[in-house]
Structure 1
Amino acid sequence: MRLRGVGRRYGLAGPWVLRGVDLGLPARALVRIEGANGTGKSTLLRLLAGIDAPTEGRICGDRPRTAYVPERFPAALPFTAAGYLVHLGRIHGLRTAEAAGRAEAWLTRFGAAGHARTPLAELSKGTGQKVAVAQALLAEPELLVLDEAWTGLDTAARDELDRAVAERVAAGATVVFVDHDPRRLAGAADRAYRVEGHGLVAAPLAPAGASAGPRVRIEVAGPPGTSLPAGLPGDPAQEAGEAGALRLTVAAVHSDALLSALLTARPPWHIRRLTPVPGDVAVPAASGVPVRPTAPDEAP
């Protein structure tokens, strides 16, 4: 999908919010959008998500399956938390049972399973934001658009969303996000752009590992003569380990997706050891990926 000369204003004679925007979205990429308040970041995200249409210019190419987390979640809807997720899942084409299963799984991951039957209007702001994020993730979108999606989440839920973003990119999706914290996913973004003067300009990327939070080292071994799979999540740094092993260092937010990619590769790689990088903050517990070391002759 590509934006060509896209502009957007509200009303026939309203001021231009964006104008002359050219942007291509590659697959399997994490894209950060920056800019001062009021410059048009949310408008750009709404255009990407298909919520708004351009006033001028074109959006070319096939629209991928898209999910969007708005800056403000419309909590005054006549649903319970689980009912809303199932409803959105059905809109995305899921069967009712499948949507219900994914809704339960995502509410559990974000620590909100106890509020599944609570009406949306009675949820706290933080829990409502967890539901907003869950509705976007349960559809496994090809394009995930996040507008300040971390705002209002507790620390554990923010970490979980970091991991979910890494998982979507590892699965081949494109994730476009805005966040007020410049450290959000620092070192992980593939591209960054800044909205200024109604247009979009390339912004410098944070160097790999810079302010990216805790890191882990994963010692792995593969069958003789086997190379690491291409395009591993988190673009881990590699160095030789002991007894023919490889030592991979990656931001902790990417560790679950990286472990999953290694264990499901053909042939699979064996995980010998996973340890935090000394001096970094404690590594959050993995969310469902087995990290028990596997012996060279043991099936993972």
Structure 2
Amino acid sequence: MTMVGLRKVSKRFGRREILTDVDLQVNAGELLALVGSNGSGKSTVLRLMVGLSRPTAGTVERNARVVSYVPDVFASHDRLSASSYLQHLGRIRGLSTTTARTRAHELLDRLALAGGADTPMRKLSKGNAQKVAVAQALLAPPELLVLDEPWSGLDATAHGTLRELLTETAEQGAAVAFTEHATEAVRSTATRVCELKRGRLVPVSSTPALTELVLRPGAAIDWARHPDVLEVRPADAGVTVMIPTGRHDAALLTALNHGWSVVTVRQVKPE
């Protein structure tokens, strides 16, 4: 199901045309990455998706009822703690106080907010404020999640956690769209990539990057039944499994927990 669709969308600011005849649909369960140089119109597309901007020409159709947005610049609240801020937003979104508090602490714990959930927002660094911005977007399960350079300022550990959160959100049926400059973040997260060039959309790839694991056996595992494994092949004294990059950590953990040895881990470029 298409959660948001742009049809023949153009956008002007004064005499400057930012977007020209953009056709773009984001479907449930999809992780779409928008790439392009600075000023190419990536943020404008995201703002059109969530309804913060209107097209000069063309139409935007939105089927998602619950829309969450993480802007590129997050204006944090000066007086509240991170936990209080998220609880307040959760209540606005219809969550009970208990549910909002529990969800806020869960997300901030996974993102490893420096100082913990009770840290005043005014004392947060840019990277930690970004963690709160991500958390507020995921308080209630969104049907459309849109993020503008969400990895910006995050530490290395939070990079992996954010990838996991976005993947989990898509697996729950949401459409996810994000912009990003870092090639690794795009390659390890996106299921589809589109590039903006001079205000026009160019498809880059519809095939996710794959990770190849060569494993030697321990306790019995039917790798063909593992939810993330796409292909299983026999290898010397073991097996080779193919998994979408970004989802291979769970398979590695399964292998290690069952006494398997990891021979090699390598990324394979899509054909």
- Kindly report which structure 2 residues correspond to 1:211-230, keeping only aligned pairs within 5 A, or say none: 221=221, 228=225
Offset of residue 28 of structure 1: 0.8
TM-score normalised by length of structure 2? 0.81
**Counterpart position of 2:130:** 129
Q: Which amino acid aligns with 2:10?
A: G
> For residues 21 and 277 of structure 1, do their structure 2 counterparts lie closer, same or farther at Cα, with a shift above 3 Å needed?
farther
Q: Contact 1:217–1:249 at 8 Å: present in 2 too? A: no
**Counterpart position of 1:108:** 109
Specify which of 226, 245, 264 is matched with residue 278 of structure 1.
264
Same amino acid, percent of matched pairs: 37
TM-score normalised by length of structure 1? 0.74
Offset of residue 208 of structure 1: 2.5
Q: Contact 1:129–1:152 at 8 Å: present in 2 too? A: yes
Segments of 5+ residues of structure 1 without an aligned counterpart are: 263-270, 282-300
Count how many residue pairs are aligned between Structure 1 and Structure 2.
260
Q: Which amino acid aligns with 2:108?
A: L
- Kindly report which structure 2 residues correspond to 1:122-271, keeping only aligned pairs within 5 A, or say none: 122-186=123-187, 188-204=189-205, 208-209=209-210, 221=221, 228=225, 232-233=227-228, 236-239=230-233, 248-250=241-243, 253-255=246-248
1:8 equivalent to 2:11? Answer: yes
| Larger relative helix fraction | 2
Give secondary structure in 2 for the equivalent of 1:139.
coil
Indicate the larger mover: 271-280 or 75-84: 271-280
**Counterpart position of 1:79:** 80
Give the alignment's Cα RMSD to 1 decimal. Answer: 3.4
- d(CA) in 2 for partners of 1:216 and 1:126? 36
- d(CA) in 2 for partners of 1:150 and 1:66? 20
Deviations along 1:187-212, whole A, 9 cap, x unmatched?
55221111112221211357623xx7
- d(CA) in 2 for partners of 1:129 and 1:218? 40
Q: Contact 2:208–2:245 at 8 Å: present in 1 too? A: no
- Kindly report which structure 2 residues correspond to 1:33-52, keeping only aligned pairs within 5 A, or say none: 33-52=34-53
Q: Which amino acid aligns with 1:183?
A: E
> For residues 163 and 277 of structure 1, do their structure 2 counterparts lie closer, same or farther at Cα, with a shift above 3 Å needed?
farther
Q: Contact 2:214–2:240 at 8 Å: present in 1 too? A: no
Segments of 5+ residues of structure 2 without an aligned counterpart are: none
Deviations along 1:78-98, whole A, 9 cap, x unmatched?
422111111222233222210
Q: Contact 1:8–1:16 at 8 Å: present in 2 too? A: yes
Offset of residue 111 of structure 1: 1.0
- d(CA) in 2 for partners of 1:53 and 1:215? 46
Q: Contact 1:216–1:274 at 8 Å: present in 2 too? A: no
> For residues 46 and 198 of structure 1, do their structure 2 counterparts lie closer, same or farther at Cα, with a shift above 3 Å needed?
same
Q: Contact 2:192–2:208 at 8 Å: present in 1 too? A: no
> For residues 118 and 173 of structure 1, do their structure 2 counterparts lie closer, same or farther at Cα, with a shift above 3 Å needed?
same
